[in-house]
Amino acid sequence: MTSADMSQIEAQAIKRLRQIYLKDLESNFSEPEWNRQPDSLYAPQRYIMSMAGKRLRPVLALMAAEAIGKPASAAFPVAHAVERFHNFTLIHDDIMDEAPLRRGQATVHEQWGQHSAILSGDAMMVMAFDALLKLPQAVMQPVMKVFNQTALEVCEGQQLDIDYEGLEAISEAQYLQMIRKKTSVLVGASLEMGSLCAGASPSQSQALYQFGLALGMSFQIHDDILDAFGDPSIVGKQVGGDILQNKQTVLQIHLNGCLDGQVMPGEGLTDELRVKAVCQAMRSLGSLDHAESLRESYFQSALEALDEAGSMHLAIEDLRAMALWIYQREK
């Protein structure tokens, strides 16, 4: 199948489910729960939830329900819970990163101040848990168990990120553990929980979790690569941010290993030249190839887990299209 065929499938399954999710989100916004007082607590939540985004996690949750043969709407509570939780982490992470912008718009703390950002994030986490109360009683406890475990792991991943900032260098294994918790587990859990509320067996939902976990790893490494080597006109921002912030990524850790204490290329140059010099070194010393091969390897693991799910009578074609779309994205 060509890349053009794939984006055709994207246009069908992914866009359809994103629309279904967004429609339900919009109808939520007119309900009393999203219009409580004081508005200063809820406006920041509606603001960040309304920013354009891939809606990866809710779409995967809905897709997992369909893969089991149930209507997507069976997974609405999970779709809202994971997207709310994800957005709660964005609000608090942006405070910690002192980020002024997200997707070209002011971050919540920039717009409403730090105190309101802490609090609206807190309230949004409650809203995430609250979404799960709409689940049928039979699946409530198992889904919540996965959700709580995942929520703790996401906090642990962010804490590792903070802890690592204080270290001179971290190993690739440490980095991979950190992104597994910070990013991948929630992708996996979106699929697992989406399938559980559609009646999946434990082994079916576990196969989908493993698919999401590996896909999330591939996704995050891809993000790191795009941040340094993406096309600025497609990515929509100047590349090289991670390099300028000395952020630990798979690329940077590999490069550090090659340089083995030698001075980093481009030291003392302008930002633009420094990014160029570091990217050049990442190419010539094999850091980019290494990152690409890691990304590829996680993607293959994802497809294997998906095939296993397929062998358990799940309809996995849309999920495969989603995985390919994520793998081929240029932004």
User: Which residue among 87, 116, 204, 287 contacts a second copy (CB under 8 A)?
Assistant: 116
37 binds a second copy (CB under 8 A): yes
Q: What is the rounded CA–CA span in Å between residue 328 and residue 225?
A: 13
User: Which residue among 14, 20, 48, 125 contacts a second copy (CB under 8 A)?
Assistant: 125
Indicate the length of the chain as a whole number: 331
User: Which residue among 2, 30, 141, 246 contacts a second copy (CB under 8 A)?
Assistant: 141
261 binds a second copy (CB under 8 A): no
Q: Which stretch binds a second copy (CB under 8 A): 155-163, 242-250, 306-314, 318-326?
A: 155-163
Q: Residue-wise over 98-130: b if at least 16 C-beta within 10 A, else e?
A: eeeebeeeebbbbebeeebbebbbebbbebbee
35 binds a second copy (CB under 8 A): no
Residues contacting residue 240 through CB under 8 Å, at least 6 positions apart: 227, 228, 271, 272, 274, 275, 278, 279
Spatial CA neighbour of 120 closest among 77, 151, 154, 84: 84
Dihedral of CA atoms 146, 149, 155, 156 in degrees, nearest 10, equals: -130
User: Which residue among 23, 145, 313, 331 contacts a second copy (CB under 8 A)?
Assistant: 145
User: Which residue among 3, 159, 238, 328 contacts a second copy (CB under 8 A)?
Assistant: 159
Question: What are the angstrom distances between the C-alpha of 200 and each of 70, 107, 207, 210?
Answer: 10, 38, 10, 14
Nearest distance, CB of residue 30 and a second copy, angstroms: 18
Binding string, residues 72-91; x marks residues near a second copy by CB under 8 A: ----------------x---
122 binds a second copy (CB under 8 A): yes
Count H helices and E strands in the chain, helices first: 17, 2
Contact 89, 154 (CB under 8 A): yes
Tell me the chain's radius of gyration from C-alpha atoms.
20
Query: Tell me, what DSSP letter sits at residue 136?
Result: -
38 binds a second copy (CB under 8 A): yes
User: Which residue among 151, 197, 243, 250 contacts a second copy (CB under 8 A)?
Assistant: 151
How many residues at the interface with a second copy, by CB under 8 A? 38
User: Which residue among 28, 158, 256, 297 contacts a second copy (CB under 8 A)?
Assistant: 158
- Tell me whether residue 168 or residue 260 sits nearer to a second copy (CB atom): 168
- Residues that bind a second copy in the complex, under the rule CB under 8 A: 36-38, 40-41, 88, 92, 95-96, 115-116, 118-123, 125-127, 129-130, 133, 137, 140-141, 144-145, 148, 151-152, 155-156, 158-160, 162-163
